[in-house]
Amino acid sequence: RKRKNSQCSMKSTSGYVPSYLEKDEPCVVCGDKATGYHYRCITCEGCKGFFRRTIQKNLHPSYSCKYDSCCIIDKITRNQCQLCRFKKCISVGMAIDLVLDDSKRVAKRRLIEENRERKKKEEIVKTLHNRPEPTVSEWELIRMVTEAHRHTNAQGPHWKQKRKFLVRGLVVGKKSKPEDIGQSPAPTSDNDKVDLEAFSEFTKIITPAITRVVDFAKKLPMFSELPCEDQIILLKGCCMEIMSLRAAVRYDPESETLTLSGEMAVSREQLKNGGLGVVSDAIFDLGKSLSQFNLDDSEVALLQAVLLMSSDRSGLACVEKVEKCQEMYLLAFEHYINHRKHNISHFWPKLLMKVTNLRMIGACHASRFLHMKVECPTELFPPLFLEVFEDQEV
């Protein structure tokens, strides 16, 4: 019999009706409105349920008829004679072998659920494989940015072997003790004093750290094409952000330290008391978070390039050019993330949130710098440190 190929329709009185049914098609057992194919026949929900219960509970041997098995079965009489109703189910072709017992029904549901999960995973994998990966020109850009980072990143991959821990009076190559520099409890907000000895140790590494950020920027494609004034604005804006990122990716959960400038391992309290205050918490929290991301050199390098090319820095002349540069880095970055196929769900948007975190760290440090200027003697500030951070907007 020819069936309709129209789309599935929804009936408010009878619920879902499959597209293969004619309008108001009757149940072949009782003549009530059919809801679909059930056990190889077009039947209503009532006859489907009756047939299933009869087989599952093996009820048919107990059925009997008062009228010599000659009852007419329709939607009015169907509940009056179970035997005749069951016989009609069989005569119209309902299949006993398609009725599942409880264990088979549970197994079938489990199989359906497993297939659904498998298809979902296959779709995710398919989506991941279909995401665009870097083009030839983007691979070249990624290579150049990665090389720029590696050539300006102190100690490279050997930082754990070469780091030294900040201890009272000197820097030593072992884990620090409670008497270490800046290790006393953080000052209260009423008496937010800077530990000058710790601050002095930090200032010894700040100049080379800033210089490495400048060298990184100079090696980047497109940066040297910008006016000198814009280069200076971009460098001043991103310097603390990039230094914080470089420290954060060198967070060591075992010793709970960050390694600054690839050489000095410090605790949260030391960094806090040495001048950074609450900024220390933000950098350590970022380090803990990033340790789950398993970033490689290219990803760290591209993050730095995105931070550098921020077109919203105040005073830029070539805003559109900087914005276009950042878009190129972001696109190459996203395609590289697709290529890496991380196991973390929504990896790309989560990583972009770290850019926001780093921008916040930079803004907090700008106001913190004013506090350091008040607390610390001017002679402790290296000239380059002052040059980069003194005129920043708060």
Q: How many domains does the chain fold into?
A: 3
Q: Is residue 310 predicted with pLDDT exceeding 80?
A: yes
- Indicate if 88 and 161 belong to the same structural domain: no
- Indicate if 221 and 367 belong to the same structural domain: yes
- Indicate if 239 and 359 belong to the same structural domain: yes
- Indicate if 355 and 275 belong to the same structural domain: yes
Which pLDDT score is estimated for 168?
46
- Place 303 in a pLDDT band, splitting at 50, 70 and 90: very high
What pTM value is reported for the model? 0.64
| C-alpha dist (Å) from residue 359 to 93, 136, 352, 365, 385 | 72, 31, 11, 10, 19
Tell me if 6 is assigned to some domain: no
Tell me if 11 is assigned to some domain: no
pLDDT tens track for 258-280: 888 767 888 899 889 888 889 99
Tell me if 10 is assigned to some domain: no
Q: Is the dihedral of CA 60, 64, 70, 74 positive or negative?
A: negative
Q: Is residue 47 predicted with pLDDT exceeding 60?
A: yes
d(CA 246, CA 260) in angstroms, rounded, equals 8
End of a domain among 82, 114, 130? 130
Tell me if 15 is assigned to some domain: no
DSSP H or E run through 43: strand 41-43
- Indicate if 210 and 232 belong to the same structural domain: yes
Q: What is the CA radius of gyration of the chain?
A: 36
What CATH number does residue 71 fall under? 3.30.50.10
Query: Following DSSP, what letter does each residue of 296-344 receive, concatenated?
Result: -HHHHHHHHHHHHT-TTSTT-S-HHHHHHHHHHHHHHHHHHHHHHT-SS
- Indicate if 222 and 365 belong to the same structural domain: yes
- Indicate if 362 and 253 belong to the same structural domain: yes
Tell me if 23 is assigned to some domain: no
pLDDT tens track for 84-95: 999 999 999 999
3-state secondary structure of 167: strand
Tell me if 5 is assigned to some domain: no
- Per-residue pLDDT, averaged over 145-170, amounts to 70
Q: Which residue has the higher pLDDT, 104 or 73?
A: 73
DSSP E strands in 186-292: the ranges are: 251-252, 257-260, 264-267
Other C-beta atoms within 10 Å of 298: how many? 21
Which pLDDT score is estimated for 181?
46
What is the residue whose two structure tokens read 């002095």?
200
- Indicate if 117 and 224 belong to the same structural domain: no
Q: Tell me the residue range of the domain where 124 lies.
A: 103-130
- Indicate if 202 and 328 belong to the same structural domain: yes
Which pLDDT score is estimated for 255?
85
Q: Which of 33-47, 144-158, 159-173, 188-202 has the highest mean pLDDT?
A: 33-47
- Indicate if 123 and 151 belong to the same structural domain: no
Q: Considering only 66-75, 126-135, 333-342, which range has the smallest mean pLDDT?
A: 126-135
Q: Is residue 210 predicted with pLDDT exceeding 70?
A: yes
Encode burial over 332-342: b for 16+ CB neighbours within 10 A, e otherwise: bbbbbbbeeeb
Which pLDDT score is estimated for 40?
93
Q: Which residue has the higher pLDDT, 14 or 230?
A: 230
What is the residue whose two structure tokens read 């398609």?
98
d(CA 77, CA 191) in angstroms, rounded, equals 91
Tell me if 173 is assigned to some domain: no
What CATH number does residue 356 fall under? 1.10.565.10
Q: Which residue has the higher pLDDT, 17 or 205?
A: 205
Q: Considering only 92-96, 121-125, 169-173, 216-220, which range has the smallest mean pLDDT?
A: 169-173
Q: Considering only 64-78, 238-252, 364-378, which range has the smallest mean pLDDT?
A: 364-378
Tell me if 205 is assigned to some domain: yes
- Per-residue pLDDT, averaged over 234-254, amounts to 94
- Place 289 in a pLDDT band, splitting at 50, 70 and 90: very high
- Indicate if 213 and 275 belong to the same structural domain: yes
- Indicate if 67 and 81 belong to the same structural domain: yes
Which pLDDT score is estimated for 15?
56
Which pLDDT score is estimated for 126?
64
Instruction: Count Cβ atoms within 10 A of the Cβ of residue 289 and give its class: 0-12 exposed, 13-18 middle, 19 or more buried.
Output: middle
d(CA 9, CA 187) in angstroms, rounded, equals 70
